Amino acid sequence: MSRLTQINRWLLGLVLALLPTYLVRFTIFGLPTTLLEIILAIFLLAVFFTHPRSLVAELKKLGPANLAIIAFVLAGIISTIISPEPIKALGQLKAFIIEPVLFFYACVLILRKESDLKLPLTLLSLSILVISLFGLIQYVTLLGLPLRFWGFGEGVKRIVSVFEYPNALALYLGPLLAFFLALIYSKSTLINRKLLFWTTGLGLIALILTFSRGAWLAVLVVLAILAAKKIPWKIVVPFLALAITAAALLYPGKQILTDPSASARLELYKYSARAVLQSPILGNGLSGFRHTLESMQFKQEVLNYPHNIFLNFWLELGMLGLLSFFFLILVCLKQHKLKPTPLRLAAAMFLVTIVVHGLVDVPYFKNDLSILFWFMISLFYIKN
């Protein structure tokens, strides 16, 4: 292994391990950026300067994925042009589309075989272990926990760890835990087994303490899929039904419907559907959803996104963005079906989690989540 190759893998591992550093924000020459973007830029420069000749050849091997990616980027550019907030839209185009797509191609270039992932995945696992452990300490000591999540009155205490709110932690942990659970199921040796078990165990406890029901459901679905591969569906289905019933007893239907967050979400969906009908082809443009809600005189808290994966992409990136995103997912799942490997199974479980959790949240339009998504997409193109 050349020294440059090893450096590139270390840099990839650092990007994955330091994903929460998007929260460290500052300006350079008046331009807003984050610590994560600086680390990512160093990684991209290192990879593209050390692999200039193999770039085109590797890209040709991706086939239909390239078409989906081109359409996705084009949708982002169009949505930036039509956005009512062009400056904010440019920032989102850079952070949520251009940089993650470049990151995907960089990963494809340096990850030629599964063993190349050992170092990056180990660093990612260590990072999740630390983030989860801090979350557990936070639950006991309230260290760094914002006052509004302390659980006064009838509320429950919800941890945030290094993030700004509980759902941000759940959106980060949920898909990664699904990925790790699939690696455990497949008895993968890409990560040290003890580290993998500790990371997954503490991560699951931390996920429970976020009290994100969408994340719980998504991980339950993944567990059911993995269980069904070894256990007959006639056993898995009753178990899953029992788990859902238990959740329903904890959160009765009437309580869910009268819960302020749930009722607000339903109202948000109603207005989002109206927005789609008003502009079904182009959507609202990047960073345009707030303007749409305000123009409709939305009575509740104005949010940045509709909190549904289909509505998110449809309104932010238009129909082209929505279709290209899910076409890319289908292309990757087909890769797994044609040549199944434990790594592709794990990446597929990651995708399942973001789609299920995405039914009630925003699993892509954040710096860390968009980078993670494109990293997982790259894993479908690693040779076994």
The reported pLDDT for the residue numbered 138 is: 98
pLDDT, mean over the chain: 90
Maximum alpha-carbon separation in the chain: 62
Distance of CA 224 to the CA centre of its chain: 20
Q: Which neighbouring-strand residues pair with 27?
A: 32
Segment 159-176 mean pLDDT: 97
DSSP annotation of 85: S
Q: DSSP letter string over 318-373?
A: HHHHHHHHHHHHHHHHHHHHHS--HHHHHHHHHHHHHHHHHTSS-SSSSHHHHHHH
The string of pLDDT tens digits covering residues 97-127 is: 999 999 999 999 999 899 999 999 999 999 9
Burial of 52 (0-12, 13-18, 19+ CB in 10 A): exposed
Burial of 99 (0-12, 13-18, 19+ CB in 10 A): buried
- Residue 291 or residue 15, greater confidence: 15
The reported pLDDT for the residue numbered 370 is: 98
Confidence label for 253 from pLDDT (cuts 50, 70 and 90): very low
Q: Number of helices (H) and strands (E), helices first, in the chain?
A: 17, 2
Flag whether pLDDT at 320 surpasses 90: yes
